[in-house]
Amino acid sequence: MDKQLKYNENTLSVAPMMDWTDSHCRVFHRLLSRHARLYTEMVHAQAVIHGDRDRLLGFDGSEHPVALQLGGSEPALLAQAARIGQEWGYDEINLNVGCPSDRVQAGRFGACLMKEPALVADNVAAMIAAVAGSGRPVPVTIKCRLGVDEENDYERFRAFVDTVAAAGCRTFFVHARNAWLQGLSPKENREVPPLRYDWAYRLKRECPQLTVAINGGIATLADVHVHLQHTDGVMLGRAAYHDPYLLHQLEHALWDTALRSRSELLRSFRPYAENRLAAGVALKHITKHVLGLFHGQPGGRMFRQILSEGAHKPGADWALVEQALAATGSQSRPAAA
């Protein structure tokens, strides 16, 4: 089958990650992959409604397709926040039903919503209604776990999905493990509960009308090819962040786009970086997302070290990035910026 037809905007995405997938990160990831769908960090509905929207919702035009992930559990608030996100130009609104942190549990949202399918359905229905009225309706999607704590009953997970799908949600990003609500940190909750990819595969088999994208522990091109035989899409989190060139390799493998070198890709980030520097953003906020670009490559450690040690210094600018690039043996600064 023609690759272009087979793979679409659901095929590849970069997961929402607090403190990581900010706008600078997403602009960088977009340079690496033209097709990947990019997700914001989770923003609580209350913050969207009452907070500093420029800071919380602002994004660069190059980021499309870009999805806003919301946290919350009150239909009226989520509806209002979804509408605001849509007006800001997001291409999708995603509801977080997977975060297990204590703070999030205290607010009764995130992963503990896996126990309240009817409430999630109400939330989704309200969000869909809120974005339906405009000339540019956007999809409302869910990112969920398989269950919480010791639940290991597929039928229960399936019932959750059915309830939410009946409210109009068509796309499910499945982080294919449970969340344990007691005793594990959020980090451990991304590692300790066992992965059960077969549940996501089964969901897609049984509900072919739904779009099912799989998430959790996906780290290589080979993994991606396997998962795409069973699901509509793969969502990568940590691997994409720590080894961003993987995103570019995936883009190349899935869509046959030209494979560019790491240094070339990084230099294509320069106009954006310099624009932000001129606006007063410190270099460290921009370059922290590129530290893994030479992961596993000669000079990769030096590249990371030069940027980590220098980017927070007053006046640090793109010259530091060129210095780091030189440590990898990449050609020194090209004539044209």
Ligand X SMILES: Cc1cc2nc3c(=O)[nH]c(=O)nc-3n(C[C@H](O)[C@H](O)[C@H](O)COP(=O)(O)O)c2cc1C
H or E, element range at 264: helix 262-267
Cα atoms in the 13 Å half-sphere on the side-chain side of 61: 0
User: Contacting ligand X (CB under 6 A), which of 82, 131, 169, 236?
Assistant: 236
**Which residues pair with residue 212 across a beta bridge?**
172
Please give the C-alpha separations between residue 182 and each of 50, 266, 293, in angstroms, as whole numbers. 31, 41, 35
Q: Which amino acid is at 131?
A: V
The verdict on whether residue 69 carries a ligand-binding annotation is yes
The 3-state secondary structure of 100-146 reads CCHHHHHCCCHHHHHHCHHHHHHHHHHHHHHHHCCCCCCCEEEEECC
User: Which is closer to ligand X, CB of 15 or CB of 125?
Assistant: 15
Joined together, the tokens standing for residue 101 give 């942190």
Minimum gap (Å) between residue 263 Cβ and ligand X: 26
Which residue has the closest beta carbon to ligand X? 237
Q: Strand (E) positions, the chain?
A: 12-14, 37-44, 66-71, 92-97, 140-144, 171-175, 211-215, 233-236
Q: Is 287 in the site for ligand X (CB under 6 A)?
A: no
User: Which is closer to ligand X, CB of 96 or CB of 171?
Assistant: 96
The verdict on whether residue 147 carries a ligand-binding annotation is no
Contact status, residue 110 vs residue 97, Cβ threshold 8 Å: yes
| Residue 112 is a catalytic residue | no
Q: Is 69 in the site for ligand X (CB under 6 A)?
A: yes
User: Contacting ligand X (CB under 6 A), which of 20, 157, 197, 272?
Assistant: 20
Site string for ligand X, 87-116 (x = CB under 6 A): ---------x-xx-----------------
Can you give the binding site for ligand X, defined by CB under 6 A? 15-20, 41-42, 69, 96, 98-99, 143, 175, 190, 215-218, 236-239
Active site residue ranges: 99
Annotated binding site: 16-18, 69, 143, 175, 215-217, 237-238
Annotated binding site for FMN: 16-18, 69, 143, 175, 215-217, 237-238
